Amino acid sequence: MDTGSDFQEHHRTADIGTIPSPAVYRRALPAEYMDADAVKVLRRLERHGYIAYLVGGGVRDLLLDRRPKDFDVATDARPGEVKRLFRNCRVIGRRFRLAHILFSEGKIIECATFRRDPGQDEDGLSLDDGDDDDLLIRHDNHFGEPHEDAFRRDFTINGLFYDIRRGEVIDYVGGMADLERRIVRTIGDPSVRFREDPVRILRAIKFSARLDMGIDREVYRAVLDHRGELAKAAKPRVLEELLRLLRGGAAHRSIFLTLDMGVLGEVLPGLAESLDPRNDASELVFQRLRMIDELRADGELPSDAVLLAALFSGAYEAKLAEGLAPSAAIAEVLDEPSERLALPRRLRDRITTIVLVQKRLRAGRFSSLVRRDFFADGAALHVIDRMAQGEPVPDWAIDPPAPDELPEDAMPRRRRRRRRR
């Protein structure tokens, strides 16, 4: 099947208001990875006459025989109708509303009504006024049909629906072929899609690294051409996507790709310079990222503060080599993400604290720190650093002791204040 020509034909017929016919594949998804609560949501919506599909990353991961992190549902039911069906439902969002169905232990099944491209009218016709200088999407607030919902998604591998009742994958966008080819490809022209939402550039890198997939040639060229568009994206979104690169189990490959494709240089040029292979500290930073991936594989993902501290460690060490004091060095390193990514003050302060405490931890002088709320993060960063340098990791860092487990002579004594006379 020529998925590229099929996709172009589907896209053309959608533009003129004709509903395209999807490719349909009978597939049994791995039952051990399926979420029982998501199945309940789908079944109830179907019993009440609504169309309801499993959608997005959950379908993609199940087809790749991976355990999904989230299970999302797409339906023709409006948010208010979903709320009437589920007592454990809350509707969020002021402009575009989503239904969150709440289950035990904080689990949320997100249930979204099918949407359409905000650049089309009710008949599916383009509303483009011919000015293509700024394609940035600022509103995405229009309900639509299943095929319209598929076309408005970012990548083909994320545009698949799964009909649990029939056991069928519904594919309007050529996503199944791209999963088999193990390639990341945008739905539609990548230059347009990246200009609509530049954060998709980081998402393309994330999926390539995390799923061990190649990047389509046209997508790769579009990343190089439009990486500067990331300056237009909301700073907190760019920060969150950077954190997802670090959290996903492929931090080493993700950051390497952002560096290799010039994306990191657009987002954080100072950090990119510190990771240049010509800098002595860069290899140790990438080794720390490898250790983070190992910890993630063992189910021990460190906090965001630890992840960022490890990422910025090379830049920090370079500042120390220039003769800056530790506090001044970390402050200078964190100025860039604070400005360019709107790094929250609380997160910046935590990074600063756990970086500065490493000298004491290396000396084994940790007993006075055990009671502090940052101690676990400091110990986690210490473990990553030791592992990266091939050094033995002390037991106290792997399993930090509680204050009451320390010997009496290890606990700090309060200094008695002298009375003023």
Residue 2 confidence class, pLDDT cut points 50, 70, 90: very low
In the predicted model, what is the mean pLDDT of residues 187-211? 96
Query: pLDDT per residue over 163-192, tens digit each?
Result: 999 999 999 999 999 999 999 999 999 999
Is residue 285 located within the same domain as residue 175?
A: no
Q: Which domain holds residue 85?
A: 1-181
Smallest CA-to-CA distance from 100 within 61, 76, 77, 73 is with 73
% of residues, the chain, pLDDT over 70: 85
Look at residue 396 in the predicted model and tell me its pLDDT: 86
Q: Which two tokens stand for residue 161?
A: 């629906």
- Domain annotation covers residue 265: no
Is residue 203 domain-resident? no
Least confident piece of the model among 1-5, 329-333, 372-376, 397-401: 1-5
Instruction: Give, in order, the Cα–Cα distances in Å from 17 to each of 10, 13, 141, 149, 270.
Output: 11, 7, 19, 14, 48
Domain for residue 192, yes or no?
no
What pLDDT, on a 0 to 100 scale, did the predictor assign at position 133? 53
- Output the pLDDT for position 117: 74
Measured CA to CA, the distance from residue 45 to residue 93 in angstroms comes to: 21
Catalytic machinery residues: 70, 72, 154
Number of domains in the chain: 2
Please give the pLDDT value at position 420: 55
Q: What is the mean pLDDT of the chain?
A: 87
Residue 51 tokens, joined: 């169309």
Whether 363 is in a domain gets the answer yes
Strand locations in 81-126 (E)? 89-92, 98-102, 108-113
Instruction: Report residue 395's pLDDT band, with 50, 70 and 90 as the boundaries.
Output: confident
Residues 161 and 33 in one domain: yes
The whole-number pLDDT of residue 403 equals 54
AA letter at 213: M
Domain match, 22 and 147 both = yes
pLDDT tens figures, 98-133: 999 999 888 999 999 999 876 554 444 444 444 445
Single out the residue in 146, 181, 216 at which a domain terminates: 181
